[in-house]
Amino acid sequence: MAWLHRLLPEAASSLAPGVDAVFSLIFWMSLFWFVVIQGVLIFFVLRYRKNRTRYPAFHSVALEVFWTLVPTFLVMVLFVYGWRQFRNLRYAPSDALEIHVTGRQWLWQFTYPDGRTTLNDLVVPLNRDVQIVMKSADVLHSFFVPAFRVKQDLLPDRYTRLWFRATRADTFEIYCAEYCGTGHSRMLGRVIVLPEDAYETWKNRGEGGTASTKRVDPVERGRQVYETRGCKACHSIDGSRGVAPSFLGLYGHSVELEGGETVLADENYLRESILDPQRKVVKGFQPVMPPFQGVLSEEEVDAVIAFIRSLGTEEGE
């Protein structure tokens, strides 16, 4: 149905056809039932408009069962079909290129794996899986690329993710889809999708059509934080256990806590453990770590997390 697709923005990611299929299914189902129900309604109005006493209300168990089971079945179909698509949206392929985004009033700041940053322009390679790790520096924002059919809120103090694989080399709009203050409507960005070789050139030359490109390797920066902000005194990076657990192989592993719970050591856990260590205390250790809330800057927290991640995820495996 070409005209229906013209109602939607162009589809430019590997996820878009699936999302559009869900949309179309819901659309056609709704249209079908709208016509059926309105048709019956109009028919009844015309057919039974006189002498209502001749047609007393009656109860039919068969009819009740029919119009309970059919909608239930249809809703389950929508659920299963939609949920499978949602799962695709939710779980990024594990080898996706990771780009960090900070939303702030009122701009987008992107940080690439090599530490380069750009403002409002997100440069990605064509046909590569890209995972966006997001957080907000102030209020709620929402990262929305209509052409890719992806949208995700950004929160202060928490990392959220989305992923996509761009399938057309072109420029697409990024909107903020969560009202975030007077500059909200001007919080616009662009995704610039480059073919692999042009992307490599951009990466090596530092060109991207943006004035502000600077380079700080986050892992190196994180090592500095580790060495100069006190972490080193308690945490080793070689697997040896001191007053505190080692950072080696921490990321991506499950951690046993005092009280018997286990948590997965992802970015959100690391962040919380750094800013507010008493919230979740690792089993077998004393709660002696000072909270770093207000001590480390946002940039230092991100960097030290990148450093911890770089120490590997597969200790002894």
Residues that bind ligand HEC (CB under 6 A): 229-231, 233-235, 243-245, 250, 255, 265, 270, 273-274, 277, 281-282, 285-289, 292, 304
Strand order in the sheet with 129-136: 160-165, 129-136, 97-104, 107-111, 116-119, 214-215
Contact status: 176 vs Cu ion (CB under 5 A): yes
Contact status: 141 vs Cu ion (CB under 5 A): yes
Q: What single DSSP character describes residue 87?
A: H
Cβ at position 178, least distance to Cu ion in Å: 6
1 binds, among ligand HEC, Cu ion, none (CB under 5 to 8 A by kind): none
- Encoded tokens for 246: 């080692």
Cβ at position 298, least distance to Cu ion in Å: 17
Which of 162, 159, 190, 194 has the alpha carbon at shortest distance from 174? 190
229 binds, among ligand HEC, Cu ion, none (CB under 5 to 8 A by kind): ligand HEC
Contact predicate 301/271, CB 8 Å: yes
Distance from chain centroid for Cα 294: 26
Tally of CB atoms within 10 A around 112: 20
Cβ at position 116, least distance to ligand HEC in Å: 24
176 binds, among Cu ion, ligand HEC, none (CB under 5 to 8 A by kind): Cu ion
Q: Which is nearer to ligand HEC, 5 or 283 (CB)?
A: 283
187 binds, among ligand HEC, Cu ion, none (CB under 5 to 8 A by kind): Cu ion
- H/E segment holding residue 63: helix 61-90
Q: Are strands 97-104 and 214-215 parallel, antiparallel or unpaired?
A: unpaired
Contact status: 187 vs Cu ion (CB under 5 A): yes
Cβ at position 317, least distance to Cu ion in Å: 41
Interface residues toward Cu ion, by CB under 5 A: 141, 176, 180, 187
